[in-house]
Amino acid sequence: METALEIIEHLKARAREEKAEDASHIHQWLKDAIHQCLVSVEAPLKLRSDGQTTVVLILGVNGSGKTTSIAKMAHHLRERGQEKIVIAAGDTFRAAAIEQLEIWSERVGARLIRHQAGADPGAVAFDATDYALKNSQNVLLIDTAGRLQTKHNLMEELKKIKRVVEKRLGREIDERLLVLDATIGQNALSQARLFHEAVRLTGLIVTKLDGTAKGGVIIPISKELKVPVKFIGVGESAEDLKEFKSQEFVEALLA
Ligand SMILES: Nc1nc2c(ncn2[C@@H]2O[C@H](COP(=O)(O)OP(=O)(O)O)[C@@H](O)[C@H]2O)c(=O)[nH]1
Ligand SMILES: [Mg+2]
């Protein structure tokens, strides 16, 4: 609502400025206004250039598309010359979650570090970080659980994973990316606030934009949190990940 009102005010002001006599320019101005909101949050994944492992922590509620996005990112990165990719099976809550990641890792040619179901996710993340450093991996992708019923516990668990990994690294995790399901609408904003408060996000991945959802909620999220959108998910297979381009996004939103 707030964002919509701001955009309307912006359009009114522009109509006055340009002394518009009919509505023929409104569509283009609306595109311009939304593009202006989003161009500042268009930023690619930051890969380290110092030869050290780029470490990426993937966060989000159950079903948002974390595990699939990890597989897609591994595929995307390997295609761009990041040969050595290791994945941490940090969602230890269900055995099926580990198996799902095992299948994906094999498919996309990444090394998986896993423990048994029920294990401490911090320990998995530590082992994966240790492996990545000792074996000069290009990128480490850390999967996590997303049971939001236990909001407090989940956030504490995520903070612990972050602490453990950063201690082993001796520096901050490079990217802390929240995966958001575009089909959940306004809920995405409250989720983003919650995760941002816990781990200070460095980016978003917006999934399921291949369906009817257009993902307009990223406009208020980017205005409020100023967190870049790194990727969008447009399907269920490994190739279905695209870098976020604000211009393309606006065209699709208003098509
Ligand atoms: N259509 C579509 N489905 C997706 C996309 N990303 C993930 N999914 C599906 O959403 C479901 C949940 O994904 P998953 O990665 O297991 O979510 P997680 O619980 O966050 O790890 C799976 O059925 C995925 O295939 C996407 O971009 N488009
Ligand atoms: Mg998962």
Please give the pLDDT value at position 2: 85
The whole-chain average pLDDT of the chain stands at: 94
Closest CA to 73 of 177, 148, 151: 177
Task: Check residue 140 and give left, alpha or beta (phi > 0: left; psi -120 to 50: alpha).
Answer: beta
Q: Is the pLDDT of residue 23 over 70?
A: yes
Give the distance, in angstroms, between the CA of residue 242 and the centroid of all CA atoms in the same chain: 12
Any idea where the domains of the chain sit in the sequence?
2-38, 40-253
Condensed to tens digits (0 to 9), the pLDDT of residues 63-120 reads 999 999 999 999 999 999 999 999 999 999 989 999 999 999 999 999 999 999 999 9
Backbone phi, then psi, for 178, in 5-degree steps? Answer: -95, 130
pLDDT exceeds 90 at position 21: no
The pLDDT value given to residue 20: 81
**241: CB partners within 8 A, 6+ apart:** 69, 72, 73, 75, 76, 231, 232, 233, 234
pLDDT value of position 22: 82
Distance (angstroms) between ligand 2 centre and the Cα of 223 equals: 28
Range in 59-63, 122-126, 197-201, 215-219 with the lowest mean pLDDT: 215-219
H/E segment holding residue 53? none
Residue 209 confidence class, pLDDT cut points 50, 70, 90? very high
94 three-class SS: coil
What global pTM score does this model have?
A: 0.95
Give the pLDDT of residue 78. 97
The set of protein residues with a Cβ atom below 6 angstroms from ligand 1 is: 60, 62-68, 146, 179, 207-208, 210-211, 233-236, 240
The full length of the chain comes to 255
Distances (CA, A) of 76 to 80, 237, 239, 242, 246: 7, 12, 7, 9, 19
- Both tokens assigned to 192: 């983003």
- Number of the ligand 1 atom closest to the C-alpha atom of 68: 15
What pLDDT score does 31 carry? 93
Tens of pLDDT along 131-176? 999 999 999 999 999 987 666 789 999 999 999 999 999 999 999 9
Q: Which residues make beta-bridge pairs with 64? A: none
Q: Alpha carbon of 153 to those of 63, 148, 230: distances in Å? A: 18, 9, 27
Q: How confident is the model at residue 124 (pLDDT cuts 50, 70, 90)?
A: very high
Q: What is the pLDDT of residue 191?
A: 94
Q: Report the alpha-carbon distance of residue 224 to residue 233 in Å, rounded.
A: 22
Hey, what CATH class is 40-253 in? alpha beta
Q: How far is the CA of 131 from the centre of ligand 1 (A)?
A: 27
Contact call for residues 114 and 29 (beta carbons, < 8 A)? no
